[in-house]
Structures are given as C-alpha cells and as structure tokens.
Amino acid sequence: MTVLSDRINNLSESATIKMAKLGRELSAKGVDVISLSFGEPDFHTPEYIKTAAKLAMDQNYTYYTPVAGYPELRKAIANKLKTENGLDYDASQIVVSTGAKQAIANALLCLVNPGEEVIIPTPYWVSYSEVVKLTEGKSVFINTTVEQNFKITPEQLEAAITPKTKLFMFSSPCNPTGSVYSEEELAGLVKVFEKYPNIYILSDEIYEHINFVEKCVSIASFPSVKDRVVIINGFSKAYAMTGWRIGYSASNKEIASACDKLQGQITSGTCSITQRAGIAACEGGLESVYEMRAAFRKRRDIVYELLKNIDGIKVNLPEGAFYFFPDVTSFFGKSYEGKTYNDADELSIFLLEEAHVATVGGDSFGDPKSIRISYAASEEKLIEAMNRIKTALAKLK
Ligand code: PMP
Ligand code: GLU
C-alpha cells in the first residue's frame, strides 16, 4: 500500500466537485438529473473572447509566458481595478494564476506559517479551510446565521482575533450565501483591523459583477488597510470562463513577488492562449457581463418565490453570486422508506436519489444546517428542480 503524506491524508475532497461528480454518474446511468451543485455559469464564453483566443493561436502565442502573466494582461487588470473599482494598483502588483483557486492557494502559502490562525466567517467557500490545512495554519471560524444575513459584526471579528491571527479571509458576494457586505458594514470591520496592523485580509471578489445591489465595494478601497489586502478575482464567473483557468491577485509588491516565486516552482504562467483571451475580456466592456447578471437576477427571483413556499425551508434573499443556502434543520430526524435523515449532507443525498436534483450539503461550507443550491441553470430546469425538491421533502415524515 502506498503511504501517502499526512498533508494529503488530512485534506478533504472538494464537496462541490464531489457532488457534481455524483450527479454526472447518475446522469450517465440515464437518470434525468438536474445539477444545481456546481458553481458554474451555464452561459457560453462571449464570442469576442473566443475570437481573441483563436487569433492568439494563429499569432503563435503558444510559448511559456512570464510567470505572473503577460505584461499587457497585468496592465489590463490594473486598468480594470482603476476604472471599475477606483483602486490604484501597478501592473507589478498583479499576479495572474491558473484560476482564482490558485491565486488563493498562492496567497495563503506565502503568508501563513504553521500554527498561525486564519479567521474565516462561516459559511465559507469549501476550499478555504482546506487550503489553510495545506499551510499547516489553523482555521478559526466565526459563525453566522440566516437571521443575520450570514454577515459577521465587528464585535464578532474582534472576539476571534488572538496574537496568532495572521489572516482574515472572506468572499463578498459570498459563495455559498450570496450575501454582500455594504460599504458601511466593511467600514465597521476596517475599524477593527486598524487596531491590529499585523493582520492581512484576503478579499475574494470573484462574484463582484454578479450582484443585485448595483455596487460591490472592495475592502481595499479603505486606505488604512489597502496595503494589507490581497484581492482575489478572476474571469470564471463574470465572463463564463470556468474551463479556461484564469484568475489573479492584486496585493502589495512583496506579496506579489512571493506569489510569483511560488508559482514559478509549481505551475509557471497560466495558459498563453487563455491569457490573450483575458486581455480581450478586460478590454471588451461589461455589456455581456450585465446581460448574464440580469438573467441571474430573474432566476434568483423565481427560485426565491418557489423556495420560500416549501414547508420547512428557511431562506434569505441573496444579494449576489448565484446560490441559495436554505436552512433545512426542520427536516432533520425525519424518515422516508425506513431511512432517517439527520443532517444536511444526508438530505442532499436524499434529494439527489429521490428528486434527482444535485445540491451540496452545508457541512463543507462550515454550516451543517443548510444545503447549497446553485441557480446557474435555465429557468425551466430551476422551476422543475424546485417542484421536485418540494415533492421529495413532503415525503419526509
Ligand atoms: N472563490 C470562490 C468564492 C469561488 O466560488 C470559486 C469558484 N470556483 C473560486 C474562488 C475559484 O474560481 P476559479 O478557480 O474558477 O477562478
Ligand atoms: N466555485 C464553484 C463552486 O463553488 C466551482 C467548484 C469548485 O471550484 O469548487 O461550486
């Protein structure tokens, strides 16, 4: 038997990827599964971006690129941060990676020492706590509830800080809750960070354009903390480019150089053709992004109406991203055909087997009371899925 490292043995499989896999396996057997487990826009990548990629191949952009990305791309991202977010970053502060996922791993591995603490509000995106494990740091969770719209208060933040705290990491709009921190709410958190100058902040803004509040404010827009913020963003969600694998970080120059060095030993620069497409995405305006956002908003409203009318489900109205994270505790301990369902993960499997709808149990998001439903699917599929969920849940007695 191969003796694997403790590092990999201690790591959990990504729950989102696992449920997507289970859904696909069931589909392959001929079952009509509606997959609401994966956080992936169902739109195609806009044509002008694909055209740029085709051109890039013809122009022989097929060689290794600088590790942190083509200078033109880093500059285009710096311009985006200026024009869309009002933030000043030099191209040398941008590191382009193989997805936002790698940008997050880079930042954590460059900042966190074994034993140092990383504060993460729950619910959080599944990979956060797992990457902390790879750093041998310790995740410290701040729990939130659906009643507080899944957002932490400054008091909760301060209570979680210890002399070992190195980093605070969060996403806004949030995966899995869709919550968006307002400027005022961020200002409250910033006041706390001002008292603790050694704490860094990882701000995952990958859903910034999928928001229904008009404007998402970055915590980096507060000058007192900007130098300590690592912004994470990418093209997967805004431009429907999940398979292209491109994301980036914006940070102070020391962190950017560290990420560049780390990436140079692990993957080098991300795909050259993808990077040329990334330049086109940055320079092509936000029209297609806003079209997709309008579709997501309509779907959110449809699903909200259907979900809140399912007996036993407690749900809030998300302000961004494309997920619902309903509380399903009222079904715990209920049974169907001799089997009792005791937690959200079991309930998610029940919904897959009984309703043929794939969702993800909340445990891996740090919240075992809820399930995550992605509404990145067509309106017809969403309506059908909610009806199936309602029928299946009504069978639990
Ligand atoms: N952050 C969050 C909050 C996400 O939901 C995702 C989704 N995959 C990522 C980062 C990573 O995105 P990607 O690696 O596709 O750029
Ligand atoms: N981020 C998406 C999700 O949460 C994609 C899957 C993943 O990368 O984990 O479902």
Q: Whole-angstrom Cα distance, residue 330 to residue 345?
A: 14
Length of the chain: 397
Mean of pLDDT values over 223-236: 98
Q: Whole-angstrom Cα distance, residue 20 to residue 28?
A: 12
Which pLDDT belongs to residue 215? 82
Say what the alpha-carbon torsion angle 205, 103, 275, 376 is, to the nearest 10 degrees: -50
255, 111 in Cβ contact below 8 A?
yes
Q: Identify the structural domains of the chain with CATH numbers, from first to last.
A: 6-44+288-393 (3.90.1150.10), 64-284 (3.40.640.10)
Tokens found for residue 380: 């017809």
Q: Whole-angstrom Cα distance, residue 89 to residue 239?
A: 22
Q: How far is the CA of 125 from the centre of ligand 1 (A)?
A: 8
Output the CA–CA distances (angstroms, integers) from residue 391 to 118, 245, 337, 356, 358, in the order listed: 41, 38, 15, 11, 15
Share of the chain above pLDDT 90, in %: 95
Q: Whole-angstrom Cα distance, residue 235 to residue 238?
A: 6
Q: Whole-angstrom Cα distance, residue 195 to residue 75?
A: 33
In ligand 1, the atom with minimum distance to the C-alpha of 174 is 3
Q: Is the CB of 363 under 6 A from ligand 1?
A: no
- For 4-37, b where at least 16 C-beta lie within 10 A, e where not — what string? eeeeeeeeeebbbebbbebbeebeeeeeebbbbb
pLDDT tens-digit series, residues 254-264: 999 999 999 99
Work out the pLDDT band at 146, boundaries 50, 70, 90.
Answer: confident
Mean of pLDDT values over 147-173: 97
Which pLDDT belongs to residue 7? 95
The whole-model pTM stands at 0.96
CA 182 to mean position of chain CA atoms:
18
Q: How far is the CA of 107 from the centre of ligand 1 (A)?
A: 14
CA 370 to mean position of chain CA atoms:
17
Q: Residue 119: CB partners within 8 Å, gap ≥ 6? A: 140, 141, 142, 157, 160, 161, 165, 167, 168, 169
Work out the pLDDT band at 147, boundaries 50, 70, 90.
Answer: confident
Q: Measured at the alpha carbon of residue 173, what is the angle toward residues 172 and 176, in degrees to the nearest 5?
A: 105
Which pLDDT belongs to residue 214? 77
Q: Is the CB of 126 under 6 A from ligand 1?
A: no
Work out the pLDDT band at 346, boundaries 50, 70, 90.
Answer: very high
119 three-state secondary structure: strand
Ligand at minimal distance from the CA of 13 is 2
